[in-house]
Amino acid sequence: MGNTKSGAVSKEILEDLKLNTKFSETEIVQWYENFKKQCPTGRITKEEFQTIYSKFFPESDANTYAQHVFRSFDTNDDGTLDFKEYIIALHMTSTGKTTRKLEWAFSLFDVDKNGYITKAEVKEICTSIFKLIPKDELADLPDDENTAEKRADKLWKYFEKGEDERVAEGEFIQGVLDNDEALRLIQYQPQK
């Protein structure tokens, strides 16, 4: 009694995810069953994640961006995503509040995980975002953001920092919240 059968999501993880996401118990259990089918080991490797992620961007090179996304979700730095990390990531990127999404975006841009982002890190992420944009959409970009470098420069200006300064998480979130242009620049929205 009280034992969960083998292969079921643990009560502890289930309760934790119900508390920390907007997903219902039924949704979490369904996600878990699908996760176990796709990942019988209970873990997703970076390579598996890149393969899954690339399916969302068939016209683009999503590998570099997927590596950064994976790094930001792998909160325990073990090189894999377990079910809990996967669901928290799914929640944050799909249904989370804007502030939570910006916390995640900050972790994406904080490539070296030191708690700050630099202009070089902004350029690195902008470069990976650029690889997501299909070639036919690149021609439609404004002149001041039609390369990864220009996009990084434009974004960096919103933080009002010098070339060698750095941005803390709170500054990043506030800077993006204060400016719709900055919010647009930190992501790629496929054309409809």
DSSP labels, the chain: --PPPTTSPPHHHHHHHHHHSS--HHHHHHHHHHHHHH-TTSEEEHHHHHHHHHTT-TTS--HHHHHHHHHHH-TT-SSEEEHHHHHHHHHHHHTS-HHHHHHHHHHHH-TT-SSEEEHHHHHHHHHHHHTTS-HHHHTTS-GGGSSHHHHHHHHHHHTT--TT-EEEHHHHHHHHHT-HHHHHHTS-----
Separation CA 57–CA 93 (nearest Å) = 16
Sign of the C-alpha dihedral, residues 107, 121, 112, 71? positive
In single-letter form, the type of residue at position 148 comes to A
In single-letter form, the type of residue at position 173 comes to I
Helix axes 63-73, 98-109, angle to 10 degrees: 110
Percent of the chain with pLDDT over 70: 93
pLDDT digits (tens, 9 = 90+) for 59-75: 888 899 999 999 999 98
Q: What is the pTM of this model?
A: 0.80
Per-residue pLDDT at 176 = 92
pLDDT digits (tens, 9 = 90+) for 109-149: 999 999 999 999 999 999 999 999 988 888 899 999 999 99
Cα angle 134, 136, 142 (rounded to 5 degrees) comes to 95
| 92 pLDDT higher than 80 | no
All structural domains of the chain, each given as residue ranges with its CATH number in brackets, are 12-95 (1.10.238.10), 99-191 (1.10.238.10)
